[in-house]
Amino acid sequence: MKTREFIIDREKLDLDYQSSLTTSIIENYLFEDLEIPQEYIKSLDISDNFVNIKLLNCRKYFNDDWYINLQRAG
């Protein structure tokens, strides 16, 4: 089974901050607003331009609301 990987442009995140975005603000958005469960995240890399999320290989979450929202954000 392939790794589920999402690369999200930081400019497309629905964050309304006038100051620079910190890693903790982006993580908060992912876990609180998009409701991505941390137990399904294999790796999370936040760079200057992109957020790269790799999920664990699992079919249990395919119909979950958070997974659908993550697909829309990517």
Q: Which domain holds residue 51?
A: 4-73
C-alpha 25/C-alpha 37 separation (Å) is: 16
Residue 44, pLDDT score = 92
Mean pLDDT for 20-35 is 83
37 pLDDT band, cuts 50/70/90, is: very high
Q: Of 19, 69, 27, whose CA–CA distance to 46 is shortest? A: 27
Q: Which of 3-7, 11-15, 18-22, 32-36 has the lowest mean pLDDT?
A: 18-22
Residue 6, pLDDT score = 92
Domain count for the chain, please give it.
1
